[in-house]
């Protein structure tokens, strides 16, 4: 009886050892996987035209308006960490490269940085959000993609911007803003630079829209507050 148990144990031991050897062999025979390159974008004035980065002068007695930025929407296919490309009706993701974090989060950070660096002192992002803001800036991103035509990509960033006065929820202004950057080379690096440039240009246009809309809203409020002269 002892002899049978010993032989069976020995057989199981050899089988286990053989499986372990086979598995280790499979691991060592796997091909080396090329790591996925991660990319990030930031507000980059160097990619803009010189006349695009000049902040308008502020009035000496102007009080800054606190603006709460509300990111209302982002394309579902492009919101994650994959880089979206479109050719005709086909939607694809770039292989070998991804965003370091979600595209939605990176664009939000880029726009916040643009307001901090480029906006005039008359407009500032409200620190307390909805509580302290005078206005709400709704941003609904419609497109954040690289569109291929004749094997050449064009980066497209487009959004709807809407300024709302918080005290009465009145819409003060609305505008569709977009930027298209033709990528001269087909490699991934220039494409990422195209995303950064398009996003930066859109941000500058959003800032200009916000400053103009806030200025017009203030002028209307001031006109209402000033009583008409007696006849």
pLDDT the model gives residue 165: 93
Alpha-carbon distance of 51 to 208, in angstroms, equals 12
Grouped pLDDT means (10 residues each) for the chain, 231 residues: 41 40 46 80 82 52 82 95 95 93 96 91 71 86 95 95 94 97 89 96 96 90 65 56
Q: Are strands 135-149 and 152-165 parallel, antiparallel or unpaired?
A: antiparallel
Tell me what pLDDT residue 133 has: 76
* Maximum Cα–Cα distance across the chain: 123
- Per-residue model confidence as pLDDT tens digits over 86-113: 999 999 999 889 999 999 999 999 999 9
Q: Measured between alpha carbons, how far is 107 from 100 in angstroms, rounded to an integer?
A: 12
Quick one: pLDDT at residue 151?
Answer: 85
Enumerate the β-bridge partners of residue 91.
86
Task: Give the pairing type, strands 123-125 and 65-73.
Answer: parallel
Q: What is the pTM of this model?
A: 0.78
- Residue 230 has what pLDDT? 57
**Could you count the other beta carbons within 10 Å of the beta carbon of residue 3?**
7
Going from N- to C-terminal start, the domains of the chain cover 65-224
CA distances from 177 to 52, 55, 183, 206, 209 (A): 15, 18, 20, 7, 9
68 touches 129 (CB < 8 A):
yes
The C-alpha atoms of residue 68 and residue 163 are separated, in whole angstroms, by: 10
**CATH no. for 65-224:** 3.40.50.10610
Q: Which of 139, 184, 178 is nearest to 156 (CA)?
A: 178
């Amino acid at each position: 009886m002892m002899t049978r148990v010993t032989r069976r144990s020995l057989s199981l031991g050899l089988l286990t050892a053989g499986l372990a050897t086979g598995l280790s062999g499979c691991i060592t025979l796997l091909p080396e996987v090329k790591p996925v390159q991660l990319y990030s974008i930031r507000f980059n004035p160097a990619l803009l035209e010189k006349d695009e980065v000049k902040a308008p002068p502020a009035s000496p007695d102007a009080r800054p308006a606190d603006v709460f930025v509300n990111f209302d929407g982002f394309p579902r296919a492009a919101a994650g960490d994959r880089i979206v490309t479109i050719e005709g009706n086909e939607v694809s993701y770039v292989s070998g490269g991804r965003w370091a974090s979600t595209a939605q989060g990176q664009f939000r950070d880029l726009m916040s940085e643009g307001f901090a660096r480029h906006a005039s002192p008359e407009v500032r992002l409200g620190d307390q959000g909805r509580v302290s803001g005078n206005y709400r800036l709704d941003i609904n991103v419609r497109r954040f993609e690289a569109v291929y035509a004749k094997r050449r990509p064009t980066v497209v960033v487009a959004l709807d911007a809407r300024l709302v006065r918080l005290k009465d929820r009145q819409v003060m202004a609305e505008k569709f803003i977009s930027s298209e950057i033709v990528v001269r080379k087909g490699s991934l690096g220039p494409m990422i630079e195209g995303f950064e440039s398009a996003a930066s240009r859109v941000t500058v246009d959003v800032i200009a829209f916000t400053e103009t809309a806030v200025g017009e809203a203030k002028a209307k409020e001031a006109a209402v507050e000033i009583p008409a002269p007696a006849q």
